[in-house]
Structure 1
Amino acid sequence: MEKTIFIVEKMFEGERVDKYLSIIVEGKSRSYLQGLITKGNILINGKEVKSNHKLKDLDEIKIIIPEPIELKVDSEDIPLNVLYEDSDVIVVNKKRGMVVHPAPGNYNGTLVNALLFYCSDLSTINGVVRPGIVHRIDKDTTGILVVAKNDEAHNFLSNQLRNHSMKREYYALVEGRIKEDKGTIDKPLGRNKKDRLKIGIVEDGRHAITHYEVIERYKNTTLVKCVLETGRTHQIRVHMSSIGHPLLGDSLYGLKKQKFKLDGQMLHARILGFIHPTSKEFIEFTSDLPEDYKELLEKLRKEVI
């Protein structure tokens, strides 16, 4: 167990404790520090506080960092499509049907299980069930993810996600023929108040922006490129559904009656670009569409318009 004490300087008076610590404490994300606050591992003048607690001059902050919990997620010999790897990151091309990290109902067969077998070095910031995981894509969404191999790389990549400088482009196959060649959807997202399993457009939700551009039109469907300005849960799926063009194969937000028998929504994380944690150079990766996606496009091209 590691204990650290900080004395707040006057220049930080009035600052939220979680924001202050994210500046002062090196190698720990704001979300990790918020978790410590919730668990009572961060004390101000000997008392537990909340993350939004405002600091005063000369406050004493004690941080108690517990010993790492022994990892209990099993490693599994599951093939991975690794596009790139170095001492800081692994860039993988995720297949359809694979959950990114263990969660209730999915403790095996996840990307994390496969990563634990593949390598021994993964960042620890996101805890025992999400080692290395900087961002996620849905179970039935295919395409590129970057995984962090150490905490420094994890923080560096997470900052790019927060400031929206990470490049993320998706190909989505949606219902209906979109008339305009491009557009922007700026609608806040949050938990659907009637169905907690869903994300919805809610007034007090988190800011969310999706830019889309038509790639190809078919008889009753459209292939679009979606560029994320923000990265909210189910963002593309909810945003496209909100303008009357839900994704093909989307059982949660799409049409109840599907024309094609699909194993999930037709969404592919095609391009991922980011500044490398060590070299500080921008690098970009592209993933080809999976075979089932290509086969469906060929069928659509043969339909008479």
Structure 2
Amino acid sequence: MTSSTGSSEIRTLPVPDGLEGERLDAALARMFGFSRTRAAELAAAGKVLLDGKPAGKSDRVHGGAWLEVEMPQAPAPVQIVAEPVPGMNVVHDDEHIVVVDKPLGVAAHPSPGWTGTTVVGGLAAAGYRISTSGASERQGVVHRLDAGTSGLMVVAKSELAYSLLKQQFRDRTVDKRYHALVQGHLDPLSGTVDAPIDRHPKHDWKWAVVASGKPSVTHYDTVEAFRAASLLSIKLETGRTHQIRVHMSSLRHPCVGDMMYGADPTLAKRLGVERQWLHAVHLGFEHPGSGEWVQFDSPYPEDLARALDRVSDGQ
């Protein structure tokens, strides 16, 4: 049953027997087709009733129970604004893909509340035609980098490329490597962090290692150890939001300059770092047109290189 209250829509329906015992967020996601994150947000906002009582995201549902969900009407689609992106370099371009070296402070694509430049907007301004697959604001985007993380991104130009690249990312066959300067020295020097990630239970603008989160796997190797920090080479199996930052923080070795996840501001100031020291240095994948393995590398931006010089000098 559906009713409307102006800017929102109320959906009322019974929980199917097949979802007996499921968490509320998982059940909502399966019943309504949206993400568990959105389901959790609706529950936290008090917009989900289970048999007439407010329900939390981790509450268990029972077959036949009545769910009442107040869902805000979908906002108008976010439009792509063609705007030049200073400092964004095109590393490779052909009929199927364009590989860019994304600078700091640039989002992968438009999103509600974001007023800065984007990769897709920068490509549009430069006259690049990208795939129309995906949501309207994410056309051609098969993976993302945080606005605060610099480095390599591949964007699909053809529909074939979009489909094949998305599948490679789903199958985890893409070789994504990052370099991170983290505080202290890891023990062991090389290892794997296998810890699920979800939204932080107390701060919805952060992410955290949470038992009920999505599987998240990060492999790391120490490239060089300095007095106050270590340079790591990191390979991701999964691509969760803030994954490297969250996993390193969970080991008590946050990325230098990453104040959101517990970095030491004194060290960051000494090294002249004003953002997390994290850069996507390498990207390898099977070319969607030729089927050949291709790979690309990116040098450190000036601010990160300068900080690395300082820490290597013992500052």
TM-score (norm 2): 0.72
What is the rounded CA distance, in whole Å, between the counterparts of 1:135 and 1:267 in structure 2? Answer: 17
SS of the equivalent of 2:137 reads coil
What is the rounded CA distance, in whole Å, between the counterparts of 1:277 and 1:174 in structure 2? Answer: 35
Post-superposition offset of 1:119: 2.8
Percent identity of equivalent pairs: 39
Amino acid at match of 2:162: H
- Is the 2:287–2:293 contact (alpha carbons within 8 Å) kept by the matching residues of 1? yes
Post-superposition offset of 1:278: 1.2
Post-superposition offset of 1:181: 2.2
Residue 295 in 1 paired to residue 306 in 2?
A: yes
What's the counterpart of residue 76 of structure 1?
Answer: 83
CA RMSD of the aligned region, Å? 1.9
Distance 1:140 1:71, change over 3 A: closer
SS of the equivalent of 2:106 reads coil
What is the rounded CA distance, in whole Å, between the counterparts of 2:89 and 2:307 in structure 1? Answer: 22
Amino acid at match of 1:78: V
SS of the equivalent of 1:296 reads helix
What's the counterpart of residue 135 of structure 1?
Answer: 143
What's the counterpart of residue 68 of structure 2?
Answer: none
Residue 199 in 1 paired to residue 207 in 2?
A: yes
Post-superposition offset of 1:70: 9.3
List structure 1 runs of 4+ shifted beyond 6 angstroms: none
Residue 219 in 1 paired to residue 230 in 2?
A: no
What is the rounded CA distance, in whole Å, between the counterparts of 1:125 and 1:258 in structure 2? Answer: 45
What is the rounded CA distance, in whole Å, between the counterparts of 1:186 and 1:178 in structure 2? Answer: 16
Amino acid at match of 2:275: G
SS of the equivalent of 1:244 reads coil
- Is the 1:81–1:92 contact (alpha carbons within 8 Å) kept by the matching residues of 2? yes
What's the counterpart of residue 254 of structure 2?
Answer: 246
Post-superposition offset of 1:120: 4.5
User: Which of the residues 283, 306, 309 maps onto 1:272?
Assistant: 283
Structure 1: segments with no counterpart, 5+ residues = 1-33, 36-68
Residues 180-195 of structure 1 correspond to what in structure 2 (within 5 A)?
A: 180-195=188-203
- Is the 1:176–1:222 contact (alpha carbons within 8 Å) kept by the matching residues of 2? yes
- Is the 2:77–2:137 contact (alpha carbons within 8 Å) kept by the matching residues of 1? no
Amino acid at match of 1:190: D
Post-superposition offset of 1:71: 8.2
Post-superposition offset of 1:104: 2.6
What is the rounded CA distance, in whole Å, between the counterparts of 2:214 and 2:252 in structure 1? Answer: 21
Post-superposition offset of 1:212: 0.4
- Is the 1:214–1:224 contact (alpha carbons within 8 Å) kept by the matching residues of 2? yes
What is the rounded CA distance, in whole Å, between the counterparts of 1:134 and 1:85 in structure 2? Answer: 16
Residues 92-128 of structure 1: CA deviation (Å, up to 9, x unaligned): 0011111221123323422121011123421222222
More displaced stretch, 105-114 vs 231-240: 105-114
SS of the equivalent of 1:153 reads helix
SS of the equivalent of 2:260 reads coil
Post-superposition offset of 1:180: 2.3
- Is the 1:210–1:236 contact (alpha carbons within 8 Å) kept by the matching residues of 2? yes
SS of the equivalent of 2:268 reads coil
Distance 1:259 1:233, change over 3 A: same
What is the rounded CA distance, in whole Å, between the counterparts of 1:294 and 1:113 in structure 2? Answer: 27
Residues 228-256 of structure 1: CA deviation (Å, up to 9, x unaligned): 01111111000011011000111211326
What is the rounded CA distance, in whole Å, between the counterparts of 2:100 and 2:194 in structure 1? Answer: 29
How many equivalent residue pairs? Answer: 238
- Is the 1:88–1:153 contact (alpha carbons within 8 Å) kept by the matching residues of 2? yes
- Is the 1:249–1:264 contact (alpha carbons within 8 Å) kept by the matching residues of 2? yes
- Is the 1:140–1:263 contact (alpha carbons within 8 Å) kept by the matching residues of 2? no
What's the counterpart of residue 10 of structure 1?
Answer: none
- Is the 1:172–1:224 contact (alpha carbons within 8 Å) kept by the matching residues of 2? yes
What is the rounded CA distance, in whole Å, between the counterparts of 1:85 and 1:107 in structure 2? Answer: 27
Residues 1-305 of structure 1 correspond to what in structure 2 (within 5 A)?
A: 72-79=79-86, 80-255=88-263, 257-261=265-269, 262-303=273-314
SS of the equivalent of 1:252 reads helix
- Is the 1:248–1:258 contact (alpha carbons within 8 Å) kept by the matching residues of 2? no
- Is the 1:248–1:254 contact (alpha carbons within 8 Å) kept by the matching residues of 2? no
What is the rounded CA distance, in whole Å, between the counterparts of 1:114 and 1:72 in structure 2? Answer: 13
